[in-house]
Amino acid sequence: MTNAAGKVIVGANGTVYVAPVGTAAPTTAAAALNVAFKELGYLTENGVTVTPSQGQTPIMAWQTAYKIRTLVTERGLVLDFVLREFNVQSLPFAFGGGALAFAGGEYKYTPPTPEQTDPRALVLDFLDGVKKYRLYVPNGQVEDLSGFSVSRSAPAELPVKFSLNYSGSGDPWNIFTTDLGIGS
């Protein structure tokens, strides 16, 4: 295989959407999302870090110092990003649930109860020129709740670590793309 500069992808911009688990899944990179998917708003310029993981257990034998087999014991997927917008979607999402309600001329955020979880479907769309990529996670949730700083010299930001949940049916996650050069 030869080097091909056109196969280097730069996610110059993109969008993160979330929806309730069970929302109709996207089936292509370019099709409109179900209306239940809501945009989370601005992210920091660092974008999104997508980290697949795989746990392994080596199988050893008495007759050799080398492993003779490897078992894959777990797989995962984590998306790390920092939300730069505080809005009706981002605030409850970043804090692992809860609700933002409007009453008496102002909004009030109420955090989730200790036993509540907030599983969501997530879509990450990103573009490189006319090439569109879409990462779809049908079920996951915010794994770590992080603090945020308020200062006069920097915007307040909401760090997010979103981790895949998998029930064992269907695909755990997918990537769709209009980049036809990926297959050659």
Name every residue whose Cβ is closer than 8 Å to that of residue 117 and which is 6 or more positions away in sequence.
96, 97, 141
Flag whether pLDDT at 183 surpasses 80.
Answer: no
Flag whether pLDDT at 158 surpasses 70.
Answer: yes
Is 76 part of any domain? yes
Flag whether pLDDT at 2 surpasses 80.
Answer: no
Flag whether pLDDT at 62 surpasses 70.
Answer: yes
Q: What mean pLDDT comes out for the span 69-82?
A: 95
Q: In this predicted structure, what is the pLDDT of residue 1?
A: 61
Question: What is the extent of the structural domain holding 141?
Answer: 12-179
Is 125 part of any domain? yes
Is 77 part of any domain? yes
Structural domains of the chain, count: 1
Is 22 part of any domain? yes
CB 79 within 8 A of CB 49: yes
Q: What is the pTM of this model?
A: 0.90
* pLDDT: which is higher, 1 or 108: 108
Mean pLDDT of the residues in the chain: 93
Is 1 part of any domain? no
Is 139 part of any domain? yes
Q: What mean pLDDT comes out for the span 162-168?
A: 92
Give the model confidence (pLDDT) of 17-47 as tens digits: 999 999 999 999 999 999 999 999 999 999 9
Is 7 part of any domain? no
Residue 182 confidence class, pLDDT cut points 50, 70, 90:
confident
Is 184 part of any domain? no
Q: What mean pLDDT comes out for the span 121-145?
A: 94
